[in-house]
Amino acid sequence: MTLEVKISKRLITYEYAFKFLQKRVEEVKKGKKKELLWILEHPLTFTAGIRSDKKEVLDNKIKLVKTNRGGKITIHSPGQKIIYFTLDLNKRKKDIKNLVNEIEKSIIEFLEIYKIKSHSDKKNIGIWVKDKKIAAIGIRVSNWIAYHGCSINIKNNLKYYKKIIPCGLDNNKITSVKNELNKKITNVNTNLKKIFLDRFKNI
């Protein structure tokens, strides 16, 4: 099954990406456009998913962008890789659990390239390095079209997590590739593209 692959080198605002994804969902439903894999980074943005709570905001000065993805409040910022997708599960497996499992496996496989051992958690969705979260997952499904995606902390500034209770967690329980390795890593977009395209074959 063919997908359009987009890799954005400049920062893409959350609002633009959100509208783009919603439009692509409608186009995929009507058979007008291909499925999508989109790798990008956002400027500093605090987003509130459908399960968010105002009590999770610790700094009232921040601006929250509401979104229809699953999950709670989280942060996107430069140095964090976002992997968005639009997948037509009508033509794949109508299995949300399998979709999430394959996303988790994709992230774990990506981190293994850089010698970072990570794992998923049945109680807390996302990917963890020991007891710290390194990647978040938030998806939505409309008429079996799955969209939104996941984020992986590569070299983003983790201090912004102090302004919120991220994903309902202790904000000290967040890490990044840079935190774990303390060295520059290469071929990030190339590796993400290859791994996710391979894993999407199982969805």
What residues are annotated to the active site? Answer: 167
- The Cα 169–Cα 60 span in angstroms is 18
Nearest Cα to Cα of residue 87 among 50, 127, 141: 141
Specify whether the CB–CB gap between 33 and 62 falls below 8 A: no
Residue 65 CB coordination number (10 Å)? 14
- The Cα 35–Cα 5 span in angstroms is 9
Q: Token digits for 91?
A: 């033509």
- The Cα 83–Cα 40 span in angstroms is 7
